Structure 1
Amino acid sequence: MSSSNNNIAISVRKISKEYQIYGKPIDRLKQSLSFGEKKYYREFNALNDISFDVKKGQTFGIVGQNGSGKSTLLQMLADTLTPTEGEVIVNGRVAALLELGSGFNPEYTGRENVYLNGSILGVSKEEMDIRFAEIEQFADIGDFIDQPVKTYSSGMYVRLAFAVAINVDADILIVDEALAVGDMFFQIKCYKKIDEFRNQGKTILLVTHDLGSVIKYCDNVLVLNQGNSLGIYPAKEAVDIYKKVVVNLHKGKEGIIETTSTSHKEWKDFYPLNAEMLNYGNDSAEIIDYGIFDDYKELTSAINKDVSCTIKMRVQFKETIENPIFAYTIKDLKGTEITGTNTMIENASSKEVKAGQIIEVSFEQQVTLQGGNYLLSFGCTGFQKGEFVVYHRLYDVIAFQVVSSKNTVGFFDPNSKVEITTK
């Protein structure tokens, strides 16, 4: 796990990881007794032939959908998992914030775990005595420092884990989605510390679904998809590629679309189905298709802030309807309605729509939402004999992300123009 190359912090050479998946517990016993003559398992390749170098002082990002192999790769870099093939070479002390539950003994108190982690990383008790006050202050969990970790909330766990990781004089910091658990003020404190870490010339590996943080912090980014490397790119380019991967539109070599799906005849096929979506109406019309298109007119589930996008819906009418109203609504993950509009508000009338007709509606606008995750809903409604009628509604049907490297307070960015003068 070490190397003499003075410029490289981490070198990964052709690593692969294969798991044996057993259908039933008894199959594992059968396999041990078969002496290799028969397979009672199926092979699952979590990673396939991955290679890259991270230079000292770089902030290196890794992005990919769930199941792409990110966590497996990080465990190898943290030396908690051995590759089936290949080699990982690390220069320097590594502090890793991996998934919740790793690194701490739940039966030990926070204080005991701080010293335990220090000893694992090669920091003496005398050194930890000096660092402990700063760790305790940063974690800010009060008297819980002397309570068993199993009594901690996820936020308290992350506070203490991050406090330890940044105070053990590590050369390389690995962060795997951990900061998403803390509250907003703790995240601000953590990112300020990460800036200090970068300014000290330390190396950071950042794995996150927050694409704004990828653009803001990362120099280069590895894009993973189903255990395979799609390449290493500058942050902005990597985010654009990842956005296409999410909706199965990534074009590989020679312009071929690399996708796990055989065909997509409708926009909605590009999006994961939300089992919790609300679907109702009087069946006079049906929303048959929908999607979000970026400024390149391509389907996406991630929109860059301050860039135009188009929200589209297609509605098929089963009855003739006078002046139907088409609408969309955006909510945050807590269910709060953030914004939305409809064709009546926008003074766009479709007049009479005949039974059997399909109407396509496009809402094009600039995105000023803060970076984060949101839910999109669609509706087709109207008035009949003065009464409001819902023909069809699909609530929370698309999950999407707004990508931003700068977030202000609240839901929207006021795009302030700031001028500071000395009088």
Structure 2
Amino acid sequence: MTLLSVQNLGKAYRTYRSEWRRFAGWFGLPARPSEECWVLRHISFDIRPGEAIGIMGQNGAGKSTLLKMIAGTLQPTEGTVHVKGRTAAILELGMGFNPELTGRQNVLHSTGLMGYGHKQIMEAMPDIEAFAEIGEYFDQPVRTYSSGMQVRVAFAVATAFRPEILIVDEALSVGDTYFQHKSFERIRKFQKQGTTLLIVTHDPSSILALCTRTLLLENGTVIKDGPPEEVIDLYNAIIAEKENSTVEVRRLDNGSTQTSSGTGEAKITEISLRNIHNEPIEYVTVGEDICLCIKAEIHQPVPELVLGYVIKDRLGQQIYGTNTFYLNQTQYDLRAGEKLEYRFRFPARLGLGSYSVSAALHIADTHLERNYHWLDMALMFNIVNTSHPTFVGVAWMPPHVECRR
């Protein structure tokens, strides 16, 4: 069953030579606008109950506009949105709140607009107040609230009753760490109960932790719809893309997608994981001393070169990353034809599971400055436990235990 269907959705902002022409356009009469700017166009996708969809894209890609049209607060220029079930949305900060009313009064007003009766609202009010945790401010005007307090009340209102669809647009990034954890816990609870989630965020960890699928918007259209890790890799590559650089996406033998990008002055030619005997390995035991070996070649003169890598778990969560800038191993004034070999030695204090390594050649402390070559999922390996007590999680941190009676 499809819970939400978006078909050929588009939004244009138009300028007319006169207000009369604008009015004529509203009633379907022929009135060509003098200017027309399409923010979104040809957006189509379906969402099933219980799915968690992340929406990513650079600033101006149309993410918030898309959510507003789905939530019904903005009318599309073309296309349709069909929703089955109740939708709760947290869009712009404080959207719908009257700054002169108290938090409690705004809760009454907002939940009333959502279609709930006075009795239902009053029964839910104690839970809303308790979840927001803003104390005496709940009965003070919203204009006295900080942005974080507004988010607390807005989220408490939107999730006071479990919706079929929950829409969140970057709002949680404003809140404090404690409230973010609390909010994500409620979102996960709703997901288990069948709520569908649509979330816009620039935080990849939130996408990876919450979402089963991700849409990537670029220039007002969906350029990729797929697993979160693959979409995030492509998103990062697009951000890092500079003049004369290319983004390449290819399917690996194991079915996953590998994204690479860069200007090409320097390239990674080989990457391997080796044991203490310098033998290539794919399976690593918990705590084993290993070496990540990366070879690179210079194709054009490079004034500065930094190599970085990051280890990710099977969900794409970043477990650990560093680069030679932070390790005081930046290379300078490299000539075309030069070859380099890097060796990073460390104990694999990781939990059981599969992991991937991404690597990048760039300048300064990040590949976003100038990206020579960036390679996602350059290497895959597995952690196994053959000699240590059973444990759970992504990190091996064996404790020393003392027990006194």
1:305 and 2:291 equivalent?
A: no
Amino acid of the residue matched to residue 152 of structure 1? Y
Q: Return closer, same or farther for 1:39/1:265 CA change in 2, 3 Å cut-off.
A: farther
TM-score norm. by structure 2 comes to 0.65
Once residues 362 and 309 of structure 1 are traced to their aligned partners in structure 2, the CA distance between those partners, rounded to angstroms, is: 16
> 2:327 — aligned with what?
341
Deviations 1:134-169 (A, max 9, x none): 000010111111122122110000000011111133
- What secondary structure sits across from 1:103 in the alignment? coil
Q: 2:214, 2:231 within 8 Å by CA — same for their partners in 1?
A: yes
Give the alignment of 1:391-406 within 5 angstroms. 398=369
Q: 1:95, 1:170 within 8 Å by CA — same for their partners in 2?
A: yes
1:59 and 2:39 equivalent?
A: no
- What secondary structure sits across from 2:3 in the alignment? strand
RMSD, matched Cα: 4.4
Q: Return closer, same or farther for 1:253/1:185 CA change in 2, 3 Å cut-off.
A: closer
Once residues 139 and 183 of structure 1 are traced to their aligned partners in structure 2, the CA distance between those partners, rounded to angstroms, is: 12
1:20 shift after superposition: 2.1
Q: 1:11, 1:89 within 8 Å by CA — same for their partners in 2?
A: yes
- What secondary structure sits across from 1:137 in the alignment? helix
> 1:95 — aligned with what?
88
Once residues 17 and 118 of structure 1 are traced to their aligned partners in structure 2, the CA distance between those partners, rounded to angstroms, is: 28
Give the counterpart of 1:416 among 381, 396, 404: 396
1:86 shift after superposition: 0.8
TM-score norm. by structure 1 comes to 0.62
Amino acid of the residue matched to residue 12 of structure 1? V
> 1:17 — aligned with what?
11
Deviations 1:33-64 (A, max 9, x none): 999777532x2211110111111111111111
Once residues 169 and 288 of structure 1 are traced to their aligned partners in structure 2, the CA distance between those partners, rounded to angstroms, is: 56
> 2:295 — aligned with what?
none
Deviations 1:314-364 (A, max 9, x none): xxxxxxxxxxxxxx3xxxxxxxxxxx2324xxxx998xx89x999999977
Identity of counterpart residues, as a percentage?
36
Q: Return closer, same or farther for 1:202/1:34 CA change in 2, 3 Å cut-off.
A: closer
Deviations 1:373-411 (A, max 9, x none): xxxx977xxxxxxxxxxxxxx9998499xx9xxxxxxxx
> 1:322 — aligned with what?
none
1:129 shift after superposition: 0.2
Q: Return closer, same or farther for 1:123/1:234 CA change in 2, 3 Å cut-off.
A: same
1:143 and 2:136 equivalent?
A: yes
Q: 2:363, 2:369 within 8 Å by CA — same for their partners in 1?
A: no
Q: Return closer, same or farther for 1:198/1:38 CA change in 2, 3 Å cut-off.
A: closer
Once residues 395 and 199 of structure 1 are traced to their aligned partners in structure 2, the CA distance between those partners, rounded to angstroms, is: 38
1:416 shift after superposition: 3.1
Q: Return closer, same or farther for 1:293/1:120 CA change in 2, 3 Å cut-off.
A: same
- What secondary structure sits across from 1:8 in the alignment? coil
1:134 and 2:147 equivalent?
A: no
Q: Give structure 1 stretches of 5+ with no counterpart.
A: 1-6, 268-286, 297-302, 312-327, 329-339, 369-376, 380-393, 404-412
How many correspondences in the alignment?
314
> 1:83 — aligned with what?
76
> 1:334 — aligned with what?
none
Give the alignment of 1:14-413 within 5 angstroms. 14-20=8-14, 39-41=33-35, 43-248=36-241, 249-251=246-248, 305-306=318-319, 328=325, 340-343=326-329, 398=369
Q: 1:14, 1:87 within 8 Å by CA — same for their partners in 2?
A: yes
Amino acid of the residue matched to residue 416 of structure 1? W
Q: 2:240, 2:368 within 8 Å by CA — same for their partners in 1?
A: no
Amino acid of the residue matched to residue 328 of structure 2? N
Q: Give structure 2 stretches of 5+ with no counterpart.
A: 252-258, 267-301, 350-361, 377-392
Q: Return closer, same or farther for 1:118/1:172 CA change in 2, 3 Å cut-off.
A: same
Once residues 320 and 118 of structure 2 are traced to their aligned partners in structure 1, the CA distance between those partners, rounded to angstroms, is: 52
Once residues 89 and 49 of structure 2 are traced to their aligned partners in structure 1, the CA distance between those partners, rounded to angstroms, is: 16
- What secondary structure sits across from 1:17 in the alignment? strand
- What secondary structure sits across from 2:160 in the alignment? coil
1:417 shift after superposition: 3.9
Once residues 21 and 288 of structure 1 are traced to their aligned partners in structure 2, the CA distance between those partners, rounded to angstroms, is: 49
Q: Return closer, same or farther for 1:139/1:306 CA change in 2, 3 Å cut-off.
A: closer
Q: 2:57, 2:218 within 8 Å by CA — same for their partners in 1?
A: yes
Deviations 1:262-302 (A, max 9, x none): x95779xxxxxxxxxxxxxxxxxxx9566766579xxxxxx
Q: 2:239, 2:368 within 8 Å by CA — same for their partners in 1?
A: no
- What secondary structure sits across from 2:327 in the alignment? strand
1:8 and 2:16 equivalent?
A: no
Q: Return closer, same or farther for 1:246/1:294 CA change in 2, 3 Å cut-off.
A: farther
1:186 shift after superposition: 0.9
1:418 shift after superposition: 5.8
Deviations 1:217-250 (A, max 9, x none): 1111111111111131012222222222222354
